[in-house]
Amino acid sequence: MKSALINIARVLLALYFLLPGINKFAAWDMHVTLMETHGMIMVPALLAIAGITQIGASICLLFNKQVVICALGLAAMVLLINLNLHDFWNVYEGVDAKHEIQNFVKNMGIFAGLLLLSAISMGSDSEE
């Protein structure tokens, strides 16, 4: 039962990042605008890195490969995204602070899940 629950969690976390990773390229202009609204620099490069990281790490998680590295990498990315794009403490025209608080808290839950997945996977075959 424990193994099944871990596998379900790993696959769901992988899908959570895979679809947005693909969407970063499918809706490129929308993501560029969002990042620019929050005053980010080097937007095209950072967006490409984020999309590639999300897609690559998700595929590894789906195939149960390099789970610790991928989960920790995605966790770091979640923190960076939270601080730069869900910064509810700043005021931006057209950005709903309540929605950003919700995204921030939701992402901290995802962050926690990634840390748990990483901790559980340490020393297992998924570290190959």
Task: Please report the DSSP string for 44-84 in residue order.
Answer: HHHHHHHHHHHHHHHHHHHTT-SHHHHHHHHHHHHHHHHHH
pLDDT at 126: 54
pLDDT tens-digit map of 52-78: 999 999 999 999 999 999 999 999 999
Predicted TM-score of the model (pTM): 0.87
pLDDT tens-digit map of 101-111: 999 999 999 99
86 three-state secondary structure: coil
Q: How far apart are CA 118 and CA 69, in angstroms?
A: 8
Q: How far apart are CA 9 and CA 5, in angstroms?
A: 6
Structural domains counted in the chain: 1
Structural domain harbouring 54:
2-127
Structure tokens at 75: 């966790």
Reported as a pLDDT band with limits 50, 70 and 90, residue 127 is low
Which residues lie below 8 Å from residue 35, measured CB to CB, with a gap of 6+? 43, 46, 47, 84, 85
Average pLDDT taken over every residue of the chain? 92
